[in-house]
Structure 1
Amino acid sequence: MKTSNKLSLLLVFLFASQTILEAQTVKTLRFEEAIAMGMSNSKVLKVDEAKVDQSMADLLEAKNQLLPNLNLSGSYLRLAKANVNFKIPTGSAEGGSVPDVNSALYGSANLSWPIFAGGRIQYGIQSAKYLVEASKLDVENQKDQVAYTIAEAYNNLFKANKAIEVLEESLRTAQARDSSFLKLEQNGILARNDRLKAQLQTSDIELQLLDAKNNYAVANINMDLLLGLPEETWIEVDSNYLDQNNNLEANDYYLEQAFKNRKDIQALDLNRKAASLQTKSAKSIYYPTIALTGGYVAADIPKVLTVTNALNAGIGIQYNLSSLYKKNSGLMRSKSIEKQLKASNDLLSDQVTLAVKRDFQNDVFANRKTEVFERALVQAEENYRITHNKFDNGLATMTELLDADTARLASRVNLTNSKADASLAHKKLLQTSGLINQ
């Protein structure tokens, strides 16, 4: 009966495991593929791309100022007992009856084509062009940030995966050791207390493995969201992720590349140019506006008046005299914006310099840290080998053996994490230097 129950439980477990595996979609993903998918699915980029469309609309509006304005208007009026008194002689020798006027029809078309506005239109168009280019550069700058965000998420997924591999291997070794120690205890060779110490360490490894799997699951959800994948997609990272070229150039190289390639610096420069043109545009109110004008008028008052083919053309001049005594608030505002952008440019320059130098030092530190962990792993492996031999010969205690094994496990995990962190530190330097997407 007990055997039958165990068999039933085993079948249920296998069926449930198969169902879970079928419900999940496993996708092997290289780092480059993750970057490409993240770019195409980024919600942040979609917001910035919409801002480009907005700036394009502003440019179109500015260009429309060059086109003539054409207005059509018309009216039909019903009049109630209108009193009509002609002041112009009608040419009739005898006074006639006044016609009954009860309606009127009027229509007109007016054309105005600006030919001079103090440069306001031209400055507005050029300024809008600069802002369009600046908005496009903002998108490119955001792409660099998105690329690093994806790199960071992929790196976390890789670290969690490697931690699982190391811990699973250590758990298998620990479980095999527990089986051997149990036999030694049963044969009276090993004390029960020592066997329990070993099992306690095995349990600790199991807990670490559970924690690593939980970290992997959370990192996997984050990647699914970043890449626009279904939430049930299970991502397998590329085992050759750390083999990428992470050669480090001189510090000055990255600083030079940052000021040459960073899109936020270029966008700010275009914004400053646009602001300068806005200042010039604000001065245009001191000049008159000149436009070509034309029109057509038609009217009909039944039994009284009919007007057709009333065409007119000319030049219109408009000058706002109040600009002579009113302060130009638009000019003050545009000059203030210019000052703000200049200060922002100086601030950004300092921030870029600091960020590049900081990330360069972090990259160097991460590589040196990896070198130390590599030596530490060699030392931990050798220490465990020696301690294990001593334990087999009765020259080392169980505590010393377990401590050596713990140190070896920690060294393996530390080295894997350090290599991944060094790879991410280099990508951060590339992002700060404007090179991550090149």
Structure 2
Amino acid sequence: MSKKKRLIILCYTALCSLYLYAQPRVMGIEEMFRLADENSESIRIYKTGKEAADEQLKAAKAQRLPDINLSVSASYWGNGRLWDRDFGNATKIEMPHFGNNFALEAQQVIYAGGAINSGIELAELNKLIAELDQQKNRQDIRFLLVGYYLDLYKLKNQGYVLEKNIELTDQVIANMMARREQGTALKNDITRYELQKETLKQQLTQVKDACKILNHQLVTTLHLPRETKIIPDSTLVNIPIQTLSEQQWQDMAGKSNLTLQQTQTGVQINEQKVKQERSERLPQIALVAAEHLDGPITIEVPVLDNNFNYWYVGIGVKYNISSLFKNNRKLKQARLNVRKAQETHRLTIEQVENAVQANYTNLQTAYSDLRTQEKRVELANENYSVTNNRYQNELALLTDMLDASNAKLSADLGLVNARINVIYHYYKMKYITHTL
């Protein structure tokens, strides 16, 4: 195959790939959540944090294992000198010039005042915090995406209405021009509608630009190809919405809200820190064992050029007496941190309760707005039907017909936006309760 043909095939393949990537992609909310779980960089960061917390827990449990130390050394010994107490009568002492040392020591802590167990408990709580952080970040990302998605849906719907209004305005201008040729319309009337058309076109451009921004934010967060054009699922407005009372939402928040679980875990973490500070004031007891092989034997004069082996087992007790008067402030600080964590938890309960109540009220308001918009659509449809009938019988002007069409389009737009608002506040309620 010639280089020219290969180049043509390569270019064709690249163009086809670009075309495929640039194709609109209809995406529902659940699919968007799935892609976020798989691709979101933020979720991946918190997942790594959880893995680090797992290793921290393993390291804390490893403190229960014995400490074993091994040392081996070889050395060159110089000759020694021996003096009287007044440093007189110096005598040279011949030394064996090769020295060796071997030591194997083991220690198993059997009591540390609860420090080891407390450290393990603290690591387990830190692991729980990492898991809660990961879950909360997942909820944050999902709610962020829902906001982008619903805004994009609204803008797409708004763009559709603007395009329809531009088409209707073109019809009005064409009709006005025809009437002007007949001498029944003024140039000012045409200019007014042309100005309206330019205003609508400007609004449509702004809507399309806003759609590009939201689409880019969605694509970036989901780590999709940059050329992907996301189209919201048109069946979104028909999704079933769970109807619950305010108290049921409050109960759900009390069980599922991750911030509440984080602050409660924070209380437990500070309680473990109090235990750790207390353990500093208690003795440590350990089983010890050692094996030594040393040479030469320098405690004799002349020095013995021999290896000396000895071993021992026993119990060691270590007690830091100074902790009795040094650790008081740290212990008091740890207790104050517990109280602060408890107060933070109570404050969080209040904040979550207020957030549930406020958004529940907003959800009810959104339902009320939806009913109003449904009535508005009903009236707009009736007005359109009556005006259309009169127009067909030449009892109404084209402008009356266009006004009725605009009112119908505006009502339809308001109805879709009202449904989107209901869906938004429903998802926000799920976000507040962290059941998204």
With the shorter chain as reference, the TM-score category is: 0.7 to 0.9
Find the aligned partners of 1:109 and 1:391 in 2 and give their Cα distance.
Answer: 106
1:100 and 1:342, CA in 2 relative to 1: closer, same or farther beyond 3 A?
A: closer
Secondary structure of the 1:245 match is coil
Find the aligned partners of 2:270 and 2:258 in 1 and give their Cα distance.
Answer: 18
Secondary structure of the 2:191 match is helix
* Alignment check: 8 A CA contact 2:294 2:309 kept: no
> In the TM superposition, what are the counterparts of 1:90-101 in structure 2 within 5 Å?
99-101=94-96
* Alignment check: 8 A CA contact 2:79 2:94 kept: no
Correspondence 1:67 to 2:65: yes
Deviations 1:205-238 (A, max 9, x none): 2222222211211110111111111222111111
* Alignment check: 8 A CA contact 2:68 2:105 kept: yes
1:204 and 1:98, CA in 2 relative to 1: closer, same or farther beyond 3 A?
A: closer
Aligned residues: 409
Find the aligned partners of 1:98 and 1:376 in 2 and give their Cα distance.
Answer: 114
> In the TM superposition, what are the counterparts of 1:108-127 in structure 2 within 5 Å?
108-127=103-122
Find the aligned partners of 2:104 and 2:165 in 1 and give their Cα distance.
Answer: 89
Find the aligned partners of 2:105 and 2:170 in 1 and give their Cα distance.
Answer: 94
Find the aligned partners of 1:390 and 1:189 in 2 and give their Cα distance.
Answer: 21
Name 2:319's counterpart in structure 1: 319
Correspondence 1:331 to 2:331: yes
Secondary structure of the 1:170 match is helix
2:26 to 16, 28, 39: 28
1:314 and 1:305, CA in 2 relative to 1: closer, same or farther beyond 3 A?
A: farther
* Alignment check: 8 A CA contact 1:131 1:271 kept: no
Find the aligned partners of 1:296 and 1:325 in 2 and give their Cα distance.
Answer: 37
Deviations 1:339-359 (A, max 9, x none): 111011100100010000011
Find the aligned partners of 1:122 and 1:397 in 2 and give their Cα distance.
Answer: 87
Correspondence 1:350 to 2:350: yes
Name 1:432's counterpart in structure 2: 432
* Alignment check: 8 A CA contact 1:52 1:132 kept: yes
* Displacement of 1:306: 2.5
Name 1:341's counterpart in structure 2: 341
1:36 and 1:98, CA in 2 relative to 1: closer, same or farther beyond 3 A?
A: same
Correspondence 1:278 to 2:243: no
* Displacement of 1:431: 1.2
Find the aligned partners of 1:56 and 1:295 in 2 and give their Cα distance.
Answer: 34
Correspondence 1:153 to 2:151: no
* Alignment check: 8 A CA contact 1:106 1:298 kept: yes
Correspondence 1:374 to 2:374: yes
Find the aligned partners of 1:214 and 1:115 in 2 and give their Cα distance.
Answer: 69
Secondary structure of the 1:247 match is coil
The letter for the 2-side match of 1:355 is A
Unaligned runs of 5+ in 1: 1-17, 86-96
Correspondence 1:171 to 2:169: no
* Displacement of 1:399: 7.8
Secondary structure of the 2:362 match is helix
The letter for the 1-side match of 2:379 is Q
The letter for the 2-side match of 1:112 is Q
* Alignment check: 8 A CA contact 2:290 2:313 kept: yes
Of 183-192 and 281-290, more deviation after overlay is shown by 183-192
Q: What root-mean-square deviation, in Å, do the aligned CA atoms of Structure 1 and Structure 2 show?
A: 2.9
Find the aligned partners of 2:95 and 2:231 in 1 and give their Cα distance.
Answer: 92
* Displacement of 1:338: 0.7
Name 2:8's counterpart in structure 1: none
Secondary structure of the 2:368 match is helix
Secondary structure of the 2:265 match is helix
Find the aligned partners of 2:379 and 2:122 in 1 and give their Cα distance.
Answer: 65
Name 1:49's counterpart in structure 2: 47
Deviations 1:377-428 (A, max 9, x none): 3434555666677789998888877766654444333332222122111110
Name 2:422's counterpart in structure 1: 422
Deviations 1:60-80 (A, max 9, x none): 222122111111223332233
1:39 to 34, 37, 51: 37
* Alignment check: 8 A CA contact 1:297 1:307 kept: no
Find the aligned partners of 2:223 and 2:115 in 1 and give their Cα distance.
Answer: 45
* Alignment check: 8 A CA contact 2:281 2:327 kept: no
The letter for the 2-side match of 1:296 is E
- How high is the TM-score relative to the length of structure 2? 0.84
- How high is the TM-score relative to the length of structure 1? 0.84
